[in-house]
Amino acid sequence: MLPACYTNNSYLQQTHVKKTAVLSALSLQTGSILAPAHIAYETWGTLNSSGDNCILICHALTGDAHACDETNPDDAGSGWWNPLIGKGRVIDTDKYFIVCSNVLGSCYGSSGPTSAHPADGSAYRLRFPEVSVNDMVHAQRELLRQLGVRSVAAVIGGSLGGLQALEWAIAHSDFVRSAIVIAASPRLSTQGLAFDEISRQAIMGDPNWNQGNYSSEQQPNFGLGLARMIAMLTYTSAEGLESRFGRNLAARTSNRPQFGPRRDIDTYLHHQADKLTHRFDANSYLYLVNAMDSYDASAGVGRGTDARALSRIRGRLLGIGISSDWLFPAKDVRKMVAEAQSTGVWAEYRQIESPNGHDAFLQEWEQLTHILHNFL
């Protein structure tokens, strides 16, 4: 049976996405043309008559447009940023018009490898063109144009979403009044690239991957699950894993092969793997990891260096690092802010103190609320 993301209907039922924008054609960074391009999105609040009270929320690697569920405002699990968005919350739906779209290349309603190819109606699979962070931002810009947004009060995102927020600030400086870049910096570290290559090989080495032409009955679940286990280690920290799991023997069962004693950390990773294979597409994972790995803020006409790229920012920049993050280390976020300041950009740095590693931007609600409140 296909994961929910494979068909638009089941996806809409599962995550309440009610809107899809259709772009007749979208030019990509590689020179390819995606025609048509579909962008799934959700909105909260109301756009004002000036069209300038929009906050754009950008999701992380396997996220979706469902950042907030106003029908379950107290359930942190019903929308991936639920504790931050809503009436009277730091991202206030009474004050702002909030937009979150699913990125190009994903499998949650926007055009990606699982979408129907217009030539034959079959899934694109690896026929889908390579997409970049720049392309994701370009698609979001076209979406906001359709929605009547004239300027953005803030673009906010963490991890892959943070790369999008940074690119927004650089590429659309006349449109963005502030950018909040969380757990992201001008490029992924070499160590991060190495882990992502292992993840790719895990997927492509699964016999069921079949050069991307797998069926709904034989998906590369083992490879995708292994890629997820690898990724989960990059989202945590040694301190956090030790305090949470230690060397405790497993308290729950797992259907995966076992050699020697099974521990809590083992079944935690197995559980995370199983959850992703039930909701995400392996080819989409490859496309999005590649987009994150390929992003370099200094690349492009008129850039050349980080300083030159950051000097293009006209609005305010807030960089938020996480003390225990080694995927996008806090020192790299701090360096980005300092470099922006050196070119005259209004920029400031704040830090989340947490043992939870990279994923702290999806957990440390009190600290995030305080930081965002002071900035917004």
Write the CATH number for 45. Answer: 3.40.50.1820
What beta strand segments (E) does the chain contain? Answer: 19-23, 26-27, 33-34, 37-44, 54-58, 85-86, 91-92, 97-101, 152-158, 178-182, 316-322, 347-352
pLDDT tens track for 40-98: 999 999 999 999 999 999 999 999 999 999 888 777 778 999 999 999 999 999 999 99
Residues 16, 111 within the same domain = yes
217's tokens: 């009955």
Burial of 201 (0-12, 13-18, 19+ CB in 10 A): middle
> What sign does the CA torsion over 106, 111, 112, 113 have?
positive
pLDDT for position 11: 35
Residues 271, 309 within the same domain = no
> What is the domain-level CATH number for residue 234?
1.10.1740.110
Assign 6 a pLDDT band (cuts: 50, 70, 90).
very low
* Full domain range(s) for residue 317: 4-187+294-375
pLDDT tens track for 328-367: 999 999 999 999 999 999 999 999 999 999 999 999 999 9
Last residue of a domain, one of 271, 287, 303: 287
Report helix, strand or coil for 27: strand
Residues 6+ apart with CB under 8 A from 242: none
% of the chain residues with pLDDT over 90: 89
99's tokens: 């937009």
Q: What are phi and psi of 327, to 5 degrees?
A: -75, -50
Tally of CB atoms within 10 A around 242: 12
Residues 180, 201 within the same domain = no
pLDDT for position 5: 55
- Domains identified in the chain, total number: 2
Residues 178, 33 within the same domain = yes
pLDDT for position 255: 87
117's tokens: 């190819």
Residues 31, 95 within the same domain = yes
Last residue of a domain, one of 238, 256, 287: 287
Last residue of a domain, one of 233, 267, 287: 287
Is residue 326 predicted with pLDDT exceeding 70? Answer: yes
Distance between CA 188 and CA 295 in Å, rounded? 8
Q: Which residues are annotated as catalytic? A: 159, 325, 358
Would you say 19 and 89 are in contact if contact means Cβ atoms under 8 Å apart?
Answer: no
Residues 73, 172 within the same domain = yes
Better-predicted residue by pLDDT, 154 or 256: 154
Residues 152, 264 within the same domain = no
Q: Is 159 left (phi over 0), alpha (psi -120 to 50) or beta?
A: left
Would you say 287 and 131 are in contact if contact means Cβ atoms under 8 Å apart?
Answer: yes
In whole numbers, what is the pLDDT of the chain averaged over residues?
94
pLDDT tens track for 100-132: 999 999 999 999 999 999 999 999 999 999 999
Distance between CA 252 and CA 301 in Å, rounded? 53
Residues 102, 157 within the same domain = yes
Would you say 205 and 223 are in contact if contact means Cβ atoms under 8 Å apart?
Answer: yes
Cis amide leading into 3 (omega within 30): no
Tally of CB atoms within 10 A around 293: 15
Distance between CA 232 and CA 218 in Å, rounded? 24
What separation in angstroms does the CA of 371 have from each of 212, 316, 321? 42, 14, 11
Residues 59, 124 within the same domain = yes
Distance between CA 360 and CA 363 in Å, rounded? 5
User: Which residue type is seen at 292?
Assistant: M
pLDDT for position 18: 72
Residues 56, 138 within the same domain = yes
How large is the greatest C-alpha to C-alpha distance in the chain, in angstroms? 65
pLDDT tens track for 233-288: 999 999 999 999 999 999 888 888 899 899 999 999 999 999 999 999 999 999 99
Distance between CA 66 and CA 318 in Å, rounded? 24
Residues 279, 304 within the same domain = no
Distance between CA 107 and CA 340 in Å, rounded? 35
pLDDT for position 73: 79
DSSP run (H or E) holding 125: none
Tokens 């050699």: give the residue: 259
Average pLDDT over residues 283-302: 96
Residues 270, 299 within the same domain = no
- Taking the alpha carbons at both ends of the chain, their separation in whole angstroms is 44
